[in-house]
């Protein structure tokens, strides 16, 4: 499995970095107990934190919006923004601009009710890998994408285009541009086996990207009992080739 990124992206977007996880021969069908536990744990944590601070991911989301503006793609939503927005909607948290009057001053730690804990399972299940990817975005507030690498010999390319950026896998083009949600080419489904996970961030979120990559790699290895390999794209050459 190989991924390459256009040099111009790193020249135009300050501090751009991409953490990589390669997973081979995974069984992504049915219910994976460890993947399900991780999804539920991420949901419970996000449920409580978002109720206390609905804007907790706003700064992270803004960094991706800034990258879109740099690429000439104003108005697009990152996968992170989409997941957070869907989760807030499930919790009944309005997408309204907060003011100083909205801030609740706590004199003691806020206690979660049993109803709040029971309502944590909002993020819908998709398949084990995507459940862990989406849960990871809730937990780490970084943009995470997974791609089905098919026969394992196609190259995933992140390309700078005249109108922004795009992802290609072999001779196929993703229906949505880089960083956005809902890839068509390389979409991960229950039959996917060879998978590349890309975790993208910038200078201020570099540590979050590294932490997310390391934890997800460990959990994917444990959940699927398969070999994983991690990589990092930041300095030139902007490419990574898996040995597994």
Alpha carbon distance 140, 142 (integer Å): 6
| Residue 91 confidence (pLDDT) above 60 | yes
CATH number for the domain spanning 181: value is 3.50.40
- pLDDT, position 226: 95
The answer to whether residue 48 sits within a structural domain is yes
- pLDDT, position 89: 87
- pLDDT, position 49: 87
The per-type count for the chain, helices as H runs and strands as E runs, is 7, 9
- Please tell me the total count of domains within the chain: 1
Average pLDDT score over residue span 104-122: 52
Are 83 and 132 contacting, i.e. CB atoms less than 8 angstroms apart? no
Are 118 and 101 contacting, i.e. CB atoms less than 8 angstroms apart? no
- Rounded percentage of the chain residues whose pLDDT exceeds 70: 84
- pLDDT, position 96: 52
| pLDDT band at 120; cut points 50, 70, 90 | low
The answer to whether residue 65 sits within a structural domain is yes
The answer to whether residue 88 sits within a structural domain is yes
CA atoms in the 13 A half-sphere facing the CB of 142:
28
| Residue 106 confidence (pLDDT) above 90 | no
Beta-strand relationship, 17-23 and 143-148? unpaired
Average pLDDT score over residue span 69-79: 90
| Residue with the larger pLDDT of the pair 104 and 89 | 89
The answer to whether residue 12 sits within a structural domain is yes
| Residue with the larger pLDDT of the pair 186 and 175 | 186
Domain span at 176: 2-95+113-235
> Lowest-confidence range among 50-54, 83-87, 118-122, 196-200?
118-122
pTM of the model: 0.86
For residues 195, 201, 206, 211, the Cα torsion angle rounded to the nearest 10 degrees is -40
Alpha carbon distance 121, 138 (integer Å): 12
For the stretch 149-166, pLDDT in tens is 887 778 999 999 888 888
- Burial class of residue 108 (count of CB atoms within 10 Å of its CB; 0-12, 13-18, 19+): exposed
- pLDDT, position 94: 62
Are 23 and 133 contacting, i.e. CB atoms less than 8 angstroms apart? no
Torsion sign across C-alpha atoms 228, 140, 47, 113: positive
Helix residue ranges per DSSP H, the chain: 7-12, 33-52, 58-70, 79-91, 114-118, 128-140, 206-224
Closest by CA to 199, choosing from 187, 216, 186, is 216
């Amino acid at each position: 499995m190989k991924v390459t990124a256009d040099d111009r992206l790193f020249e135009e977007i300050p501090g751009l970095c991409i953490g990589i996880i390669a997973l081979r021969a995974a069984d992504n069908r049915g219910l994976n107990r460890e993947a399900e536990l991780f999804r539920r744990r991420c949901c419970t944590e996000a449920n409580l934190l978002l109720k206390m601070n609905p804007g907790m991911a706003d700064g992270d989301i803004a960094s991706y919006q800034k990258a879109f503006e740099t690429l000439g793609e104003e108005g697009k939503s990152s996968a992170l923004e989409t997941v957070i927005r869907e989760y807030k909607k499930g919790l009944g948290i309005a997408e309204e601009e907060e003011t100083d009057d909205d801030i609740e001053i706590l004199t003691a730690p806020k206690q979660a009710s049993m109803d709040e804990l029971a309502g944590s399972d909002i993020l819908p299940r998709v398949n084990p890998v995507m459940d862990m990817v989406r849960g990871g975005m809730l937990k780490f507030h970084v943009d995470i994408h997974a791609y089905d690498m098919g026969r394992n010999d196609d190259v995933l390319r992140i390309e700078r285009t005249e109108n922004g950026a795009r992802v290609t896998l072999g001779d196929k083009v993703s229906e949505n541009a880089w960083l956005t949600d809902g890839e068509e080419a390389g979409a991960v489904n229950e039959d996917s086996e060879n998978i590349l996970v890309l975790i993208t961030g910038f200078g201020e979120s570099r540590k979050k990207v590294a932490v997310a990559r390391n934890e997800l790699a460990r959990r994917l290895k444990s959940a699927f009992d398969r070999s994983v390999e991690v990589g990092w794209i930041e300095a030139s050459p902007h490419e990574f080739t898996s040995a597994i």
